[in-house]
Amino acid sequence: MGLLSTLKSIFGGGESPGAKKETESAKASAGPEKKPQTDMKEVSSVSNKITAGHVHMSGCTGCLVAVADNYGGLLTLLDKYVDWVYDLTLADVRHIPKMDVALVEGSVCINDKLSVQEIKETREKAAIVVAVGGCACYGNITRFSRGGQQNQPGHEAFLPIGDLINVDVYIPGCAPTPQLIRNVCVMAYLLLKGNDEQKKLAEAYLKPLMALPKQGTEACFCDLMTKVIDQGLCMGCGSCASACPVRAITHEYGKPQGQRDLCIKCGACYNQCPRSWFSFDVVSNYETILGAIRGALQ
């Protein structure tokens, strides 16, 4: 029995105390008198689930931990919306099947033919490929690998998955928050199976994350400067500076400063920046989107 089946048999698909608390506080913040802004009945009653899987390339497994950190929310997703058809760790399935959504964690070791084959097979078998976390999106810490690990001395070069296959959605972060992964899963479901209104919401929510793969590794500090900092969107979090593999970004007076002569145009800073996928569509529909996600998870 896979770990997920075991968890489901223990919890019976119910919510953990933490998740219950989260739902209660979400309800409280929504206000007791507030009517839901979208009809979720259709979502709750849909029985044909989408199929999804987790493809583990070269990474630390932190993103999978973030998926699992949704606790009861994850079980609700699995009960109502998603059949988890592939996962070496959680579902104990060894061959990549056809699926609607592949969540890929980690970068690809190009010294390892099997890894290259696996990512190509993932692209062939999955309708939607999602790069989860910094390593899959832009290489992250695996860019610094120079090989020499005791058990894999020949593994010394790694590429983000977008350098080898077309990717549909990025979920940046090291690791991305459990809520962000959960929200993308719910929105992917609504995009594929929801009614017209829900599809529209899902599209608004996913659009900025779908735009990131197009930037891929071609973005540079100039993109960060013109599309984030100069627009007044920078909140001074420092994620861009910590993501830069050549230390071309310093953080002075609460704002990033770039040394453009050092920049290798890898796109890491832009993809890691939480404001690079800021969207006025999402902000103006925030309550409705939140209502749709809460409704789906109840």
Q: Give the range of 94-102, 118-126, 156-164, 264-272 binding ligand SF4 by CB under 6 A.
A: 264-272
Range in contact with ligand SF4 (rule: CB under 6 A) among 13-21, 72-80, 188-196, 237-245: 237-245
- Residue selected from 91, 263, 282, 290 as contacting ligand SF4 according to rule CB under 6 A: 263
Q: How far from each other are the two terminal CA atoms of the chain, in whole angstroms?
A: 27
Interface region with ligand SF4, contact rule CB under 6 A, candidates 45-53, 106-114, 219-227, 287-295: 219-227
Note whether 240 binds ligand SF4 by CB under 6 A. yes
**Residue among 239, 285, 289, 296 that touches ligand SF4 (CB under 6 A):** 239
Tokens 């979400």 locate to 26
Contact between 181 and ligand SF4 (CB under 6 A)? no
Six token digits for residue 287? 């309550």
Q: Does 204 bind ligand SF4 (CB under 6 A)?
A: no
Sole binder of ligand SF4 in the list 186, 209, 248, 289 (CB under 6 A): 248
**Closest distance between ligand SF4 and the C-beta of residue 233, in Å?**
7
Q: How far is the CB of 135 from ligand SF4 (least distance, A)?
A: 14
x/- contact string, 34-63, with ligand SF4 (CB under 6 A)?
------------------------------
| Residue 226 found at the interface with ligand SF4 (CB under 6 A) | no
Structure token digits, residue 29: 């913040």
Could you tell me how many residues of this chain bind ligand SF4 (CB under 6 A)? Answer: 28
Tell me which stretch binds ligand SF4 (CB under 6 A): 22-30, 164-172, 177-185, 229-237: 229-237
Say whether residue 243 binds ligand SF4 (CB under 6 A).
yes
Q: Does residue 264 belong to the site contacting ligand SF4 (CB under 6 A)?
A: yes
Residue among 13, 97, 148, 238 that touches ligand SF4 (CB under 6 A): 238
Q: Which residue has the tokens 């593994």?
A: 155
Q: How far is the CB of 162 from ligand SF4 (least distance, A)?
A: 14
Is residue 246 a contact point for ligand SF4 (CB under 6 A)? Answer: yes
Mapped to the 3 state alphabet, what secondary structure does the chain carry? CCHHHHHHHHHCCCCCHHHHHHHHHHHHHHCCCCCCCCCCHHHHHCCCCEEEEEEECECCCHHHHHHHCCCHHHHHHHHHCEEEEEECCCCCCCCCCCEEEEEEECEEECCCHHHHHHHHHHHHHEEEEEEECHHHHHCHHHHHCCCCCCCCCCCCCEECHHHCCCCCEEECCCCCCHHHHHHHHHHHHHHHHCCHHHHHHHHHHHHHHHHHHHHHHHCCHHHHHHHHHCCCCCCCCCHHHHHCCCCCEEEECCEEEECCCCCCCCCHHHHHCCCCCCCHHHHHCHHHHHHHHHHHHC
Instruction: Tell me the closest approach of the beta carbon of residue 176 to ligand SF4, in angstroms.
Output: 14
**Would you count residue 266 as binding ligand SF4 (CB under 6 A)?**
yes
> What own/partner pairs with CB < 8 Å and gap ≥ 24 does 279-283 have?
279/204, 279/207, 279/208, 281/204, 281/207, 282/204, 282/205, 282/208
Member of 8, 56, 227, 265 binding ligand SF4 (CB under 6 A): 265
**Residues engaged in binding ligand SF4 (CB under 6 A):** 220-221, 224, 228-229, 234-240, 243-244, 246, 248-249, 256, 258, 263-269, 273, 275
